[in-house]
Chain A
Amino acid sequence: MPKTRQAISSMGIHAILFSYMVLALWPIFLTIINSFKTRKAIFRDPMGLPGLDTFSLKGFNKVLLRSDFELYFMNSITVTVATLVLVLLLGAMAAWALSEYKFKGNKWLGLYLAIGIMIPIRLGSVSLLQLIVNMNLANTLTALVLVYIAQSLPLAIFILSEFMQQIPNDLKEAARCDGVSEYTIFFKVILPLTRPAIATVGVFTLVPVWNDLWFPLILAPSNETQTITLGVQQFIGQYVTDWNAVLASLTLAIVPILIIYILLSRHLIRGITAGAVK
């Protein structure tokens, strides 16, 4: 009897999760299938799969051959990767400092950083723009990277420091007795052990940065510095929208983030310190 009940509840959970998955993936699915259809077919039968007579690569053609798509793409990748690397490195170091070393104001500093999670950075758009202009960084990718680092660091530090506190003390002390310097402890012992948390933070950092339209629009809208989300906008007009091109570029925009996600997700679920102690 309990077995059937278990089976039912497990089926229920899976049904809920499955319907959520469908809900989440549906827009992506629509974007992808429609990007391979003719304009007429998109409007006639938006839900239909591309068939022999409706299949078209017109959108991709236009995006890849008759626009600066590669430039936008590279801009997005540069900004995202630079942000990701710096956020993970700085975030991990700050988290380690906050969780491992007890110094005056440690708690307050942690709290101050946590406030950054609660206050949306967009509230400061005007002063950010002023600051960037004063620093002569308007229309540069550097401006975007700096703003994105500021946007992502608080959450990164918060998650990573929680995680680092769980690393058993004995392990660090064993390393200290073993003749290992603090830097080496951080890079060779702590970082490998926090890989799952770093992967999580990586995904959390990656997605909003890649998808952001706001800051590229106000800080770096010049043709050379447009990111992909901004670049797509040129196909969306006030009167006419080139849906083939929009859907094709969105489909292409999914690819790199999907690749990075797959790479990171391998580490997401791994247990952290199995076998370290006890």
Chain B
Amino acid sequence: MSDIQLKNIDKAFGKVKVLHDVNMSVTDGEFVVFVGPSGCGKSTLLRVIAGLEQVTAGEIFIDDEQVNDVQPRERGIAMVFQSYALYPHMTVYKNMSFGLKLKRHNKQEIDQRVRKAAETLQLTDYLDRRPAELSGGQRQRVAIGRAIVRHPKVFLFDEPLSNLDAALRVQTRIEIAKLHKKLDATIVYVTHDQVEAMTLADKIVVLNDGRVEQVGAPLELYNSPANIFVAGFIGSPKMNFLKGTVSSIKGDTVEIRLPDDKIMSFEHDTPANEKDTATIGIRPEHLLLAEAGDGLLKAEVDVVERLGDVSYLYCALSDGTPIIASAPGTSLAKTGDTIRLTARTEKIHVFGPDGNAWK
């Protein structure tokens, strides 16, 4: 058993409040990812769990034991840092065995654990090298190895892939996912990259400005974001937002007037009244290219990104609102073209004036 509970966590550095009333839990064996833009407090929250930062208010429980005043080394956690933080004067073997030696495990067991971790991480050939003689990816694996050998209750990862190049990042990401399955470990992972979050997590915690915006499984966040922030943050390219006003409500059918006087109608339960403002969110993949003269939105193409299987059209509406549409890779649209788009109304999201989604 190794679960974590955070209750009403507040954290301030001097007068600057960086975490506001954070509540969340991590259950045994779960892979939880904290994601958010830089400065949102996600690393601070991780450091709070690690015990490297003291909370201003609130309680932290690991395994139902309150650990607010417990030193990091007694919390049963292992942390992997973005900068690897290996001991430069020790070999890989010593880096991994250092913590164990100090806990006076017997030599054989230490050796066994280190060799097993090295095997898992394909580091066996490098055990006698120093960190300076390793590549970035290898160093990161040593840092992970140093965490594994300790058999911690919880693994904490602080943006572990940010210093790796793109190809290595994808590869290491898959290795971390495998490792999670293999060790059945409880992992808390911090990243600013929503792709990492979507691919690794059992549960994602979206943070913004020190507040938890939404907690949920990756697809839950993708399919039903709780507010504009989550909607804009999860998914790549970003969701498009169109501002409008509610023009009529007839039963379940809602009509919304968009900037250039187009009316979009769809079925939705609505908490809103007529003339309320509303923001429509449409993901690029839910916008379709329409025949000339047809379609809801008229846009001019600024940039085309061709990825092969799909092309992203970065366009602007007549009032200047940027909008991104995805088109099949075979699309011939080019910069300067005027295109018409229709939206798959069953896939749109609507947000009220407070930014929260209509339920």
B99 touches A176 (CB 8 A): no
With A and B bound together, what is the CA distance between A272 and B98 in angstroms? Answer: 20
A70 adjacent to chain B (CB < 8 Å): no
A180 touches B99 (CB 8 A): yes
A180 touches B83 (CB 8 A): no
B131 touches A179 (CB 8 A): no
A180 touches B73 (CB 8 A): yes
User: Distance in Å from the Cβ of B190 to the closest Cβ of chain A?
Assistant: 14
B130 touches A277 (CB 8 A): no
With A and B bound together, what is the CA distance between A277 and B51 in angstroms? Answer: 21
User: Distance in Å from the Cβ of B62 to the closest Cβ of chain A?
Assistant: 13
A176-B86 CB under 8 A given contacts A181-B102, A274-B132: no
A278 touches B84 (CB 8 A): yes
Taking residues whose C-beta sits less than 8 angstroms from the other chain, chain B's interface range is 20 to 34
Contact residues in B for A276 (Cβ distance below 8 Å): 84-88, 131
B73 touches A181 (CB 8 A): yes
Q: 1/0 per position for A172-215, CB-CB distance to B under 8 A?
A: 01111111110010001100110000000000000000000000
B52 touches A275 (CB 8 A): no
Contact residues in B for A184 (Cβ distance below 8 Å): 102
A9 adjacent to chain B (CB < 8 Å): no
Stretch at the interface among B74-82, B196-204, B347-355: B74-82
B237 adjacent to chain A (CB < 8 Å): no
With A and B bound together, what is the CA distance between A131 and B96 in angstroms? Answer: 52
Contact residues in B for A175 (Cβ distance below 8 Å): 87
A53 adjacent to chain B (CB < 8 Å): no
B250 adjacent to chain A (CB < 8 Å): no
With A and B bound together, what is the CA distance between A160 and B336 in angstroms? Answer: 63
Contact residues in A for B87 (Cβ distance below 8 Å): 171, 175, 189, 276
With A and B bound together, what is the CA distance between A178 and B163 in angstroms? Answer: 22
A273 adjacent to chain B (CB < 8 Å): yes
Contact residues in B for A273 (Cβ distance below 8 Å): 88
Closest residue of chain B to A167 (Cβ to Cβ) is B88
A168 adjacent to chain B (CB < 8 Å): yes
With A and B bound together, what is the CA distance between A130 and B48 in angstroms? Answer: 54
A275 touches B134 (CB 8 A): yes
B102 touches A277 (CB 8 A): no
User: Distance in Å from the Cβ of B69 to the closest Cβ of chain A?
Assistant: 15
A277-B99 CB under 8 A given contacts A173-B52, A177-B72, A193-B88: no
A176 touches B84 (CB 8 A): no
A171 touches B85 (CB 8 A): yes
Name A177's contact: one of B73, B103, B130 (CB within 8 Å).
B73
B278 adjacent to chain A (CB < 8 Å): no
Name B72's contact: one of A168, A176, A275 (CB within 8 Å).
A176
Contact residues in B for A278 (Cβ distance below 8 Å): 83-84, 136, 163
User: Distance in Å from the Cβ of A6 to the closest Cβ of chain B?
Assistant: 29
Name B78's contact: one of A178, A180, A181 (CB within 8 Å).
A178
Contact residues in B for A173 (Cβ distance below 8 Å): 50, 52, 72, 79, 81, 85
Query: B2-60: which have CB < 8 Å to A?
Result: 50-52
With A and B bound together, what is the CA distance between A193 and B85 in angstroms? Answer: 13
B81 touches A178 (CB 8 A): no
Q: 1/0 per position for A146-179, CB-CB distance to B under 8 A?
A: 0000000000000000000000101101111111
Contact residues in A for B79 (Cβ distance below 8 Å): 173-174, 177
A174-B85 CB under 8 A given contacts A179-B73, A179-B150, A274-B132: yes
B146 adjacent to chain A (CB < 8 Å): yes
Contact residues in B for A274 (Cβ distance below 8 Å): 88, 132
B89 adjacent to chain A (CB < 8 Å): yes
Query: A215-274: which have CB < 8 Å to B?
Result: 272-274
Contact residues in A for B103 (Cβ distance below 8 Å): 179
Name A178's contact: one of B98, B134, B136 (CB within 8 Å).
B98
With A and B bound together, what is the CA distance between A273 and B78 in angstroms? Answer: 22
User: Distance in Å from the Cβ of B50 to the closest Cβ of chain A?
Assistant: 6
User: Distance in Å from the Cβ of B246 to the closest Cβ of chain A?
Assistant: 51
B133 adjacent to chain A (CB < 8 Å): yes
Closest residue of chain A to B133 (Cβ to Cβ) is A275
With A and B bound together, what is the CA distance between A175 and B88 in angstroms? Answer: 12
B150 touches A178 (CB 8 A): yes
User: Distance in Å from the Cβ of B161 to the closest Cβ of chain A?
Assistant: 13
Contact residues in A for B163 (Cβ distance below 8 Å): 278
Contact residues in A for B85 (Cβ distance below 8 Å): 168, 170-171, 173-174, 276-277
User: Distance in Å from the Cβ of A197 to the closest Cβ of chain B?
Assistant: 14
Contact residues in A for B143 (Cβ distance below 8 Å): 174
A170 touches B102 (CB 8 A): no
With A and B bound together, what is the CA distance between A173 and B87 in angstroms? Answer: 11
With A and B bound together, what is the CA distance between A217 and B136 in angstroms? Answer: 59
B72 touches A277 (CB 8 A): no
Q: Among A171, A177, A188, find the residue whose CB has the most chain B CB atoms closer than 10 A.
A: A177
Contact residues in A for B102 (Cβ distance below 8 Å): 179-181, 184
Closest residue of chain A to B96 (Cβ to Cβ) is A178
Q: Among A178, A273, A274, A275, find the residue whose CB has the most chain B CB atoms closer than 10 A.
A: A178
Q: 1/0 per position for A17-60, CB-CB distance to B under 8 A?
A: 00000000000000000000000000000000000000000000
A-B contact pairs, 15 of them (CB 8 A): A173-B72, A173-B79, A174-B86, A174-B143, A174-B146, A178-B73, A178-B78, A179-B102, A181-B73, A272-B88, A274-B88, A275-B139, A277-B81, A277-B85, A277-B86
Q: Knowing that A178-B99, A277-B86 are A-B contacts, what are 5 other residue pairs whose CB atoms are under 8 Å apart, sorted by A's residue number?
A: A170-B84, A274-B88, A275-B134, A277-B84, A278-B163
A residues with CB within 8 A of B: 168, 170-171, 173-181, 184, 188-189, 192-193, 272-278
**Nearest 8 A/B pairs, CB to CB:** A275-B132, A275-B131, A277-B83, A174-B85, A170-B85, A178-B99, A276-B88, A177-B79
